[in-house]
Structures are given as structure tokens and as C-alpha cells.
Amino acid sequence: MSEDFVDLRKVGIERDPSKRSASFMMVDESPEVGFSRGVEILSTREAIERYEWLENYSWRLVEGEGDYDGYFIRVPRNVKVEFPVEACLLLKMAKSQRVHNIVIAEENSELNLITGCTSERLSGLHLGMSEFYIKRNAKVTFTMIHNWKRGNEVLPKTGIRVEENGVFISNYILLSPVKVVKACPVAYLERNSRAFFGSVVVGFEDSEIDIGNVVYLNGEGSSAEIVSRSISRGGKVFSRGHIIGNAENVKGHLECKGMIIGNGVINAIPELEARNPNVDLSHEAAIGKIAEDEIFYLMTRGLSRDEATSLIIRGFMDIEVKELPEVLKREIDRAIELVEKALV
Amino acid sequence: MKDVLRIVNLCVGVDGRVILKNVNLYIQKGQTFALFGPNGSGKSTLLMTIAGSSKYKIYDGRIMFKGVDITEKATDERVKMGLGIMYQHPPKITGVKLKEILKHCAKLGGTEDKIYEYVKMLNMENLLDRDVNVGFSGGEAKKSELLQLLLMNPEFLMLDEPDSGVDLESIAVIGEVINDLLDGKSGIIITHTGQILKFVDVDYGVVMYKGRIACIGDPREILKTVEKYGYEECARRCLRTL
């Protein structure tokens, strides 16, 4: 496969109406809606023109201004979108791509969204600004798969508001070399809402990856979990997490695990902040190399050293997200399979 | 050659410290040896060295398996030739499911069609989707090891304390499985207490003491002597008669 050709399936994009509820594609700064059913999907500019009320959503969760395009997705009240909605952001010719996305899950609705970001250019800047509104009793599962090239710089900003009893589940996968990724989504949780942030990132040589999540537990009984798996194979990885307990009976847990293959740098920075005495916040962090006794054990079951190493790395990257729909799990497994061999 | 395993003048150390000294052991096809000895006498080191652990450095000697010198062979090659090891304390591997390992074992042993039968026999259905050895009880870890060996179907078994840390009832089950595994095969069983010998027939007993083989004899006699006088006295008596 030539360097300038990208396989969109690698980032979870199928463009197949039998597998997706809606499909959106943005090449450089030109958006296009492929198809949709059961869910409203427009370009952000078009949506802002059409809906005056969108002013109350635009640039409210993310600092910024400007008239950038991107995707606007809205799931109507009480609608549960069966197949995932996919959105692809492709950097093709332009030196930079600025994207503004707005996702609204109305009350009691359900959405699975896969966003795949990739580049045909060897260098270039991707700046994605996303705002997620999860209304009462709604549930959004968001899976983002990044597959960049060595010279790409990626600086997204994301804000998420989860209303009462709402659920937000996020999975972020970065398994390709890249120059820089800096991302730190911020979530604001209201009463009895829940959020889960899982991430699996690999830092190859000359890559600098700085990712994390900030979660404000603002509503009574809200809870959040941040689980990250970072692998450094010569790159520099910062894995951050910050949970702020602002209300009664909130619960937060942070789990940062790092594995260094060969050499590299991993910096795990978990942070817990309690602003109320009745909070339950905890974290665990561990960084190490692959244990030789684990490799040996698998070799005594007939696996070669490479096979054993590969199986252990794969196991390390496998974050078990209980509520993840099977179709999304398959996308993640496929992405992990693709990188597995490159790591051994 | 009738010997399935020949250990010739084996000297082994770790971090510059010599653990095994001039170990010689010949095991014929169909024979099973029980390996006795106090903690730190080198029993597990011997099994791990036969399996090819890179943790242990071989200073001298060689290991012959089925007439082939395997001293320099990688562990997976030895396993493919028919060596199988049951760990006393298998490592916990996060993210690697027991069922995944079983698939590899079954592929190796050509026993893909037996997975379900063995899993059911050992009552292990609930452990298949668990990370291997993570949170397993003592008995579960032993059964998991045996299940893997059943699927690998090795010609030569090395069992490191199959009877430690399990209750008497479980030992009976474990003993039964070991008998199945050893049927027509050869092996070495390390046992501290000798409990497993109530269920498994072994041909010879070997006492290891301070890295050497102190004696080889009738396993029940050895066990009696050890129970009565302790290892030090047993080894002293053994060495005197060697």
C-alpha cells in the first residue's frame, strides 16, 4: 500500500448503509453527508443557518469562535439509533483542517458514534472542536479512532455535558505514528449521570502524545471512570486524568497503565480533587515493561517469543468496556490487530 | 535409546550463584520420578532449566530429550517436541484469557475437539473468559494448569508441586487427571508432602539436596525416611550409601 493511500476501514469507516445509520465525510474543510436514517445529520454551517436555537449550543462547551464546518448530529427524543453513525475527517490536500462538531442526544435517546480521523498528507494540522450534549436519560457511546502520519499535528478540543441520568462512554484509539497529539476532553456531569473514558495509545519514535480527561462531578450521585493504556515504543506519552468531586456522593476512579517496549518515555499524571467531604475518588497507576516470566509461561504453551509478546501486548491494550456494543468492540479489535505486529 | 530424558552433568546458576551441581538423571519411556527435597534445593530450577528458562544459566552439562540435545533450544521448540510443564505458581497475565491459551494448547496437541470435554470434566466453564490466573484460587490455578497440559498432550510431564495449597478432595481429582496424563508417558513430579503419591504411581524417588541429587530409590521408602528423620538426615544417609 502506498504512503499516500489511506484505508478508511482502518478508522472504522464503512460507508455501508447496511452497517451504519448515517455516514458523514469531511475532506479537508468540505463536509458531505453520505446517507442517514433515524438520526439528523447536517454540516455544522448548514445546521447553524437552519436552527437559530443552536446558538445556545455552539461554542458553549469549548472555548472558541468562528464559522468552521464539521458535523451536526441530533438524535430525536426517545429514539434509539440501532446502527452506529460514522463520521470521517480526512486531511487530504490542505495544510490544515479545522472542524467544529456538535452532537445532541435529546432526552431518552441513544446514539453510537464512530469518528475516524486520518490523513493522506505526510504533514498537516488537524484541529477538531467538538461539543457533546447528552440530555436527561440519554446515552451516547463515542468511539474515536485516529490513524495519522508521522508529520501530522493533532490538537482537538472537546467538551461534554451529561444531564441527569445520562451516560457518556468514550473510547479513544491512537495506534499510528504521529508528530503531536494533544487532547484533553472536559466533561461536566450532572445529577446521577455517568461517564467512562477509555483510551489506548501507542507512542512510536518521534511521536509526542499528551492525552487525558478532565471530569467535573458536579451533580449529586454522578460518577466517572477514566481508564488508559499507554504504550511507548520510542515515543513520548503523557497520560493525564483529573477528576473533580464537586457534589455529594460522587464517585470517580482513574486507572493509568503504561508499558514501555524497547525504550521511550511514559508520564502518568493522575489527579484527584475533592471539593466535598462525601466523595469517593481513587486512582491506580503503573508503568513497566513486558514481564519475562509471562513471555516464558506462554512459550511453555508452545507460543514463540514473538507470538507470546504479541498476545501480552494485545491483552494489555484490551480495555474491557462492559457496555460497548459488539460492533464497536469489533472496530477496536480490528484497529488493535493492525498495530499488534508493528509493536513486537 | 530407551531414555526419553537424559540430564548429563548439569550445572546451573542464576546471577552468578550456582544452584544445580553436576546433576545426572536418566528417565526411560514410561517412567515417572518423584522429586523430593527441601525448599531451595534446586527442584524447581531443574524443571525450569529443562523447560528452557533464560533466567537460569547453564554452566556445564547438557539435556537430551528423545535423543536430541535440547540444551540450546528455545522453550517453544522443546514444548513442540513434547515437553510439558505444570507450574506451581503460574504468572497472572492481565488481558490474556484462559480460553485463548487453551486454543494454542489444543492446536499444539491436536486436541481441538477435546476442549469442551476437558473443560466440562474439570468444571472450568466459568474461568474461560477470565484473565489467566488473575484471581484464581489455589485449586483453580492447578486445574487450569492441568487443563492446558491435557490439551497439549505432552510426552514428558514436569509437574511442580501439584498437591501444594489444595484441599484433600481436590488432590484426589488432580491425582486422577495426572494419572490420565501419565498413561504411557513419562514425567517428573515435585512433591513436598508426598500427598499426590497416594493417588499417582511413581517408579522412583529422587532426593535433591543443596543442588545435588542425593539419592534415587523407592519413593515410599524415601518419603518414610524424610518423614521420620527430615531431609538433612535423609540426605546424609543417602550420600553415605551412594
Q: In this predicted model, what pLDDT tens digit does every residue of A27-56 receive, in sequence order? A: 999 999 999 999 999 999 999 999 999 999
pLDDT at A4: 42
Compute φ and ψ for B129, nearest 5 degrees.
-95, 10
Give residues with Cβ within 8 angstroms of A147, minimum separation 6: A6, A10, A11, A116, A117, A118, A175, A176, A335
Residue B91 DSSP symbol: P
Q: Decide the pairing of beta strands A223-233 and A250-260.
A: parallel
Contact across the interface for A298 and B93, Cβ inside 8 Å: yes
Q: How far apart are CA A149 and CA A130, in angstroms?
A: 22
Going from the N-terminus, what domains does chain B have, and what CATH number goes with each?
32-58+76-241 (3.40.50.300)
Name the nearest CA neighbour of A325 among A180, A114, A129: A114
The separation between CA B43 and the C-alpha centre of its own chain, rounded to angstroms, equals: 9
Chain A residue with the nearest C-alpha to that of B90:
A297
Residues of chain B contacting A299 with CB distance shorter than 8 Å:
52, 74-76, 79
Which of A292, A297, A311 is nearest residue B90 as measured by Cβ atoms? A297
Q: What ipTM does the predicted assembly reach?
A: 0.96
Cβ(A169)–Cβ(A193) below 8 Å? no
Tell me the shortest Cα–Cα distance from A264 to chain B, in angstroms.
Answer: 22
Cβ(A337)–Cβ(A310) below 8 Å? no
Q: How far apart are CA B168 and CA B152, in angstroms?
A: 26
The residue ranges of every structural domain in chain A are 8-290, 291-344
Q: At what angle do helices B138-152 and B168-182 cross, to 10 degrees?
A: 10
Residues of chain B contacting A301 with CB distance shorter than 8 Å:
79, 101, 104-105, 108, 148, 152
Across residues B80-101, what is the average pLDDT?
A: 96
Residue A342 DSSP symbol: H
Name the nearest CA neighbour of A158 among A212, A236, A225: A212
Give residues with Cβ within 8 angstroms of A56, minimum separation 6: none
Cβ(B239)–Cβ(B217) below 8 Å? no
Tell me the shortest Cα–Cα distance from B105 to chain A, in angstroms.
Answer: 6
Per-residue model confidence as pLDDT tens digits over B206-242: 999 999 999 899 999 999 988 888 888 887 877 655 4
Contact across the interface for A294 and B91, Cβ inside 8 Å: yes
pLDDT at B178: 96
Which of A298, A299, A316 is nearest residue B94 as measured by Cβ atoms? A316
- Band of pLDDT at residue A3, cut at 50, 70 and 90: very low
Compute φ and ψ for A52, nearest 5 degrees.
-65, -40
Q: How far apart are CA A298 and CA A293, in angstroms?
A: 9
Q: How far apart are CA A99 and CA A11, in angstroms?
A: 17
